[in-house]
Amino acid sequence: MALFLDGIQAIVDLGASVMLPIIIFILALLLKQGVGKSLQSGITIGIGFIGIGLVVGLLRDSLGPAAEAMAKNFNLGLSVIDLGWPGTAPMAWASDLGLIAIPIAVVVNLIMVALKLTRVINIDIWNIWHMAFTGAIIQVATGNIYLGMLGIVIHAIIAYKLGDMFGQVTDEYFGLDGISIPHGSSAYMGIFAVPIDDLISKIPGINKIEITEETIEKRLGVLGQPTIVGAVMGVIIGLLAKYPFGKSLQLGIQMAAVMLLMPMVVKLIMQGLLPISEAAKSILDKRFKGSDLKIGLDPALLLGDSQVIAASLLFVPLTILMAVIVPGNQVLPFGDLATIGFFIAIATGVHKGNIFRTLISGSVIMFITIWISNQMISLQTQLGENVGVLAKGGERVSSLDQAGSPITYLLAKGTTLETGIGFFIILVLYIGAFAYTFAKYKKGTIYVEED
């Protein structure tokens, strides 16, 4: 057993760009795609994820320092650094529940599929780290590993159901037919967008405002193209960071590159995945007639949409501003600023690419995320110390991705009965938004094309 877990750990340590191609290669062989086609699919998907890593790295290395400079320039007084998912995922994998989370999540998935409680068959093993983090935080909070394992089970159930609920959005808006995005901040924060979209639709005047890439390009012509919009936003962020004009121009070109390159690398992943998806769908349809099963994959696929990228760039300064106005907040958004697109991707789809509406629901999403991440500082810091990522008694840390998750927060604080007015507000808001979104999902009205 120890040898088996060591083998899994070795694969996990290679990262998503290697782990997923290995899984895809094995899956393709099981689907009788042949060694050649299987190898080609796996390598193509690996190249796509390397590409995403490079583009996200460009975002992180260029936007991160600019965001930090903005915070210092405006003397925000935020002392706790947001590690981001790159600093948080290793904590989850290194915890006692890191590797245990994989078989738990897989078994939960298989049981739910067998009982027809979900249509999602998850192959995105890497992102099980979100579930592992929830379990690890609960273990830190309670000292009970079994409660941590229960937390993984609950998180997995919610995640796979969210994959079902937003299936119409991933099919219709993102064009990812047969694919589900059950993991991470995209799914668990997307539920706030559904009631907000319906509320906006009922406000006269406001419900007529539509800002999309198409409307911007239509009004501004060539100046409204995604690359130019990205360049302009990059320059503005640079100026807010008080960069020299030349360096601001460099940041602008880098953001223009992101707008162009991200959809291209996502297409590579889709190119490698398409034959696997079609083969899997054919076999699954024969064995599970009428089940319409979907393959669960990484939310990075959603970043191929230019509206998501445009909105995420707008949210860089907005998120820093919100960090200042969130009551009692100490967390400086940093590590996850480059990947804010994950948080608002599903919302963008729910709003059919309307950036105006995404700014409204995204502001709610980021406000809640920041507030929760502030409540989780001590628990994430303790986890980091326990697994040796942080020095004992050293810096305090948190993260927007997963430490800012309502699921992790409610389960961790609920099991320890550390409740207060904030806990109950988040509880009511999250359960209410989840129930509302679930009701719309059952009616098939989460995503309805307008006449």
The string of pLDDT tens digits covering residues 294-310 is 888 888 788 878 888 88
pLDDT > 70 in the chain, percent:
86
Q: How confident is the model at residue 18 (pLDDT cuts 50, 70, 90)?
A: confident
The DSSP annotation for 65-122 comes to HHHHHHHHHTT----EEE-HHHHHHHHHHHSTTTTTHHHHHHHHHHHHHHTTS--EEE
The owner of tokens 């507000």 is 425
The predicted pLDDT at position 109 comes to: 93
Q: How confident is the model at residue 233 (pLDDT cuts 50, 70, 90)?
A: confident
Region 249-253: what's the mean pLDDT?
A: 87
User: How far apart are alpha carbons 361 and 351 in whole angstroms?
Assistant: 9
Strand partners for 296: 122, 180
Q: Which residues make Cβ contacts (< 8 Å) with residue 19, sequence separation at least 6?
A: 11, 12, 125, 126
> In angstroms, what CA-CA distances link 156 with 150, 365, 443?
10, 21, 24
Sheet holding 294-296, edge to edge: 120-122, 294-296, 179-180
Residue 321: CB atoms within 10 A of its CB come to 17
The string of pLDDT tens digits covering residues 423-449 is 999 999 999 999 999 999 999 889 876
Q: How confident is the model at residue 12 (pLDDT cuts 50, 70, 90)?
A: low
User: How far apart are alpha carbons 182 and 121 in whole angstroms?
Assistant: 10
Q: How confident is the model at residue 217 (pLDDT cuts 50, 70, 90)?
A: low
- Three-class HEC string of 131-165: HHHHHHHHHHHHCCHHHHHHHHHHHHHHHHHHHHH
The owner of tokens 């998907």 is 45
The string of pLDDT tens digits covering residues 41-97 is 888 878 877 877 777 677 667 776 777 777 677 666 677 878 888 778 888 888 888
The predicted pLDDT at position 96 comes to: 85
Region 359-372: what's the mean pLDDT?
A: 95
122: its two tokens: 């998850």
Asked whether residue 1 carries a pLDDT value surpassing 60, the answer given is no
Q: How confident is the model at residue 223 (pLDDT cuts 50, 70, 90)?
A: low
Helix, strand, or coil (residue 300): helix
The string of pLDDT tens digits covering residues 389-417 is 777 777 788 999 899 999 999 999 999 98
pLDDT > 90 in the chain, percent:
33
Region 151-176: what's the mean pLDDT?
A: 93
The string of pLDDT tens digits covering residues 96-132 is 888 788 889 989 999 998 898 998 988 877 788 899 9
Closest CA to 90 of 405, 411, 410, 401: 401
285: its two tokens: 């349809």
